[in-house]
Chain A
Amino acid sequence: MSSRPGGAGTAGPLLTVDDLHVSFATEDGVVQAVDGVSFELAAGEVLAVVGESGSGKSVMAMTLMGLTRSPNARFEGKAFYKGAELVEASEDELRAVRAAEIAIIFQDPMTSLNPVQRIGKQIIEQIQEHEALPDQQALERAVELLERVGIPRARERVDSYPFEFSGGMRQRVMIALAMSCDPSILIADEPTTALDVTIQAQILERIRELREQTGAAVILVTHDLGVVADIADRIAVMYAGRIVEQGTLDQIFYDPQHPYTWGLLGSIMRVDKPRPQRLPAIAGLPPSLADRPEGCHFRPRCPHEFAECRKVPPLTSRVEGQPDHFDRCWLPVDQKRDKREVLPGVIGLDSKEAAPA
């Protein structure tokens, strides 16, 4: 029952993260942003990392590219990409990996592009850093990329400045930029949070198309479970620096094992259910990053807490027949299903729909 977390990849995982810890020294003390995260990512897989603000998901994603390095940061654990270790890698080694192997799209396209440089130049800069391509050819590639992400009149627009685009267009430019060197992993850090809901769907569609065309794996970091339903293969739920549940899309949505996941699912507004009296929400607040509860981090907010919870629950597979479904809850599986089923409709699923995988 306790197998190491792993994906169902064929030739072995593309990326293996092993017990990653990231802490920052700040004015208010040491902040443990990532508190022991392990997972695997298979080639071409879409892994959604879901959690609220402060869960450590963005820090974890950016650490994979070494973008959180600073004099105040401390790292433990390892991350292996195609055999190379990333956490302790040198700057030169990381630079070769960035953009060419692992690329990232940031949350706010408005501020993530240099406002005084033409977007064509910004894309060409990245291409030429990794490949010895002459200017003309690099320009061609940039135009082609812009066309691929759906920017109209790409040949003209390649000379435009970021402020001349709308938010959704800018995010497409970021996607074009990220894909320009054909990376094997695309990290999308809350790519739709700063955009209108109507644009959100378009952007996610783009990401999905690109995944299909290029076969790149995607780590989609988001706080919105609704966003991942359409696109994710696997989901990892993060809370207070730890992964509290990990499994396939179906497993998470139809057989969630962790009370926090129940809360997340329960807080999705359902149009097909009778309207509840109050907006469903998880009571309480996430713990301060500098001062976490002993044992299970979710303990203070969990209505099912008991004595065992003072010990940190390991991330293991507890459900019969679901070796790739992991969670961090001490409750026995049958009790979980009970407690969960007590509230049909409120936590977002009918007891009838709860089908073990």
Chain B
Amino acid sequence: MATEPATDFSFERPATYEEEARREGAHGVSPWRLALRRLKRNRVALAFGFLFIVVVGLCLAAPLWANGPAHTDPFKNHLTETIVLDGKKTNVVSLEGTPIGPTWKGRFFLGADTNGRDTAVRLLYGGRNSLLIGCAAALITACLSVLLGTLAGFVRGFTDTVISRTLDVIWAFPVILLGVALGTALSLQGLELGPVKVGADSKLIPILIISVVYVPYMARPIRGQVLALREKEFVEAARAQGANPLRIMVSEILPNLSSTAIVFVPLLVANAILLEAALGFLGVGVKPPEPSWGTMIGDGVKHILSGPHLAIVPGLMLVTTVLALNVFGDGVRDAFDPRATVRVEH
């Protein structure tokens, strides 16, 4: 590049393109990769995500604890038994009905409830139920919402009207009221839809109720996004190529919804767990004697005068789990779509 005549002054040199390509290093990185990178940088979110995994692990390991140090199961009541505490023989449940508090030892690690059952054991088994219901409900909601939202937004017309009006009606009920109504109605005799029979005791009942209740909260934003997407050029291009609507929905629309869906999922799980707890508290969730965090809190509140630990313990566990999901979910949203306005009702 010495002092030669600048004949190439006005024209692009080949070298420019290389320089440009090198400069534009970010090209070729998919939005997924970028999002994951952003998420990885968010230490706090990752830490809480890990916390959630720890909770799940603990609950999955419930049998290990129950059969091991605790020597009991979630249903056995030790009402009339005594154990040795600080050298003294104490009733598990006193004559006035007050159960013992946390012993911090293998048996009755977190104390007993008014039926003499081991709280720690019930907590872990209850966690399995609560987590199962929460995750399953969230998954079903997500799938249903994407399905309904896409159908409504893409096909439009009569299908859209039917789906949207139905969602509106569900949405017009305060979440908890609808959940309680459905829970009460179904908990007595279960559900019978033609050949499909679901027993009243089945955990499928709360799962189905919770999923149905939350569908409008996700389906509407999805529908909105599909409405916008279908006007975009790449959809028009696909249509011009003669692709049939189903094909367009699957190959063009759905992938673009994935980041919205991913952002919704942790929040849905968190809300589902909270709703399950609310239903359990009001007595229309998981049926006794099966434990769940909600029913345990309900019992604890009822007998709070006998021992606050009955309510505090399951509550803390619930709060920790939901908090972990919320913080992690927040991090996921920041990573995938920093400008999102995703919101799930309570």
Contact = CB atoms under 8 A, between A and B. Distances in A.
Verify whether A and B have any Cβ pair under 8 Å. Answer: yes
Interface of A: 262-263, 266-267, 276, 278, 280-285, 288, 302-306, 339, 342-343, 346-347
Contacts of B13: 283-284
Contact of A283 (B3, B4, B12, B23): B12
10 contacts: A276-B10, A281-B12, A283-B10, A284-B19, A285-B20, A303-B5, A303-B6, A303-B8, A305-B3, A342-B6
A304 B12 CA distance: 16
Nearest to A278: B11
Nearest to A262: B9
A349 to B, nearest CB: 14
Contacts of B6: 303-304, 339, 342-343
Contact of B10 (A266, A285, A302, A304): A266
Interface in B8-44: 8-13, 15-16, 19-20, 23
Contacts, number: 53
B95 interface: no
B172 interface: no
Nearest to B19: A285
Interface of B: 1-6, 8-13, 15-16, 19-20, 23
B3 A306 contact: yes
Contacts of B2: 305-306
A296 to B, nearest CB: 12
Contacts of A266: 9-10
A322 B11 CA distance: 32
Contacts of A283: 8-13, 16
Contacts of A278: 10-11
Contacts of B9: 262-263, 266, 282-283, 303, 343, 346-347
Contact of A285 (B3, B4, B5, B16): B16
B20 to A, nearest CB: 6
Pick the most buried of B1, B15, B19: most chain A CB atoms within 10 A of its CB.
Answer: B1
Contacts of B11: 278, 281, 283
B12 A285 contact: no
Given A263-B9, A303-B8, A339-B5, 15 more contacts: A278-B11, A283-B8, A283-B10, A283-B11, A284-B16, A284-B19, A288-B23, A303-B4, A304-B6, A305-B2, A305-B3, A306-B2, A342-B5, A343-B6, A346-B10
4 nearest A-B residue pairs (beta carbon): A303-B6, A280-B10, A283-B13, A305-B1
Pick the most buried of A280, A282, A284, A347: most chain B CB atoms within 10 A of its CB.
Answer: A284
A91 B8 CA distance: 50
A218 to B, nearest CB: 32
A197 B16 CA distance: 30
A45 B16 CA distance: 39
A346 to B, nearest CB: 6
A93 B13 CA distance: 50
A257 to B, nearest CB: 15
